[in-house]
Amino acid sequence: HVHEPGFLTMIDWFNVTFKDDASYNEALTYLKSSEEFYSYLDVYKTRKEIYTLVSAVRIAVNFGNIMLALIAIVNMVNIVSTGILNRKSELGSLQCIGMTRGQEMAVAVFECIQFVVFSGIAATVIVKLLMMGAESFICGVMDLDSADIGGRMFQFGAAFVKICAGTAVAFIVALISSIIPLHIMNKQELVDQIRTVE
């Protein structure tokens, strides 16, 4: 099209990509020295700031995940092992009426599965909400939306794989914390298991 009579169309805009920060700095120096001829939008700098912020958030989240995982494992071991010991009299009574050690172990495994499935579902929901909240916060701070950075900042698929791995580890830990007190308890006589302490 023609902007004014007698003048041909000029280039409205063009995009430049950089292989590294050095080429970006050279181009930025040139653009700043020629600002009277055209204007520019520094998307490279904006994306770099976003990626830096996202990386910092990821590091903080990973550190928080490790701390929460350690706390959760300790609490889970205490809950499972204490729960079995508190039910020692009940389990001893069930053995008196015919429950075998295999059935007793099956009950412990089923309880561990219930525990880790509930924990996995809760973790999935919490992680999804945290990702959405973090992305909204970053976009709000940077005054951007997902389209400006070419998609989502956080990929839920990678997080879901970690949740599944964590759930498997939690199941193993819960199973071990169930087997040990059951093994110790089964070494006692049934009379001692059933006897309660006032």
Phi then psi for residue 124, to 5 deg, are -60, -45
Q: Across the chain, what does the average pLDDT equal?
A: 72
Say how far apart CA 96 and CA 44 lie, in whole Å: 73
Contact between 45 and 148 (Cβ < 8 Å): no
Phi then psi for residue 159, to 5 deg, are -65, -35
Confidence of residue 179 (pLDDT cuts 50, 70, 90): confident
Say how far apart CA 53 and CA 21 lie, in whole Å: 18
Q: Token pair 């950089």 is at which residue?
A: 18
Contact between 138 and 153 (Cβ < 8 Å): yes
Confidence of residue 2 (pLDDT cuts 50, 70, 90): very low
Is residue 109 over pLDDT 80? yes
- pLDDT over 90 for what percent of the chain? 0
Pick from 111, 72, 76: nearest CA to 91: 111
Say how far apart CA 177 and CA 198 lie, in whole Å: 26
pLDDT in tens, 120-160: 888 888 888 887 887 777 777 666 665 555 455 667 777 78
pLDDT in tens, 62-108: 787 777 777 777 777 777 777 776 777 777 777 777 777 778 788 88
Structure tokens at 9: 């169309």
- CB within 8 A of 192, min separation 6: which ones? none
Contact between 54 and 131 (Cβ < 8 Å): no
What's the pTM value of the predicted model, to 2 decimals? 0.56
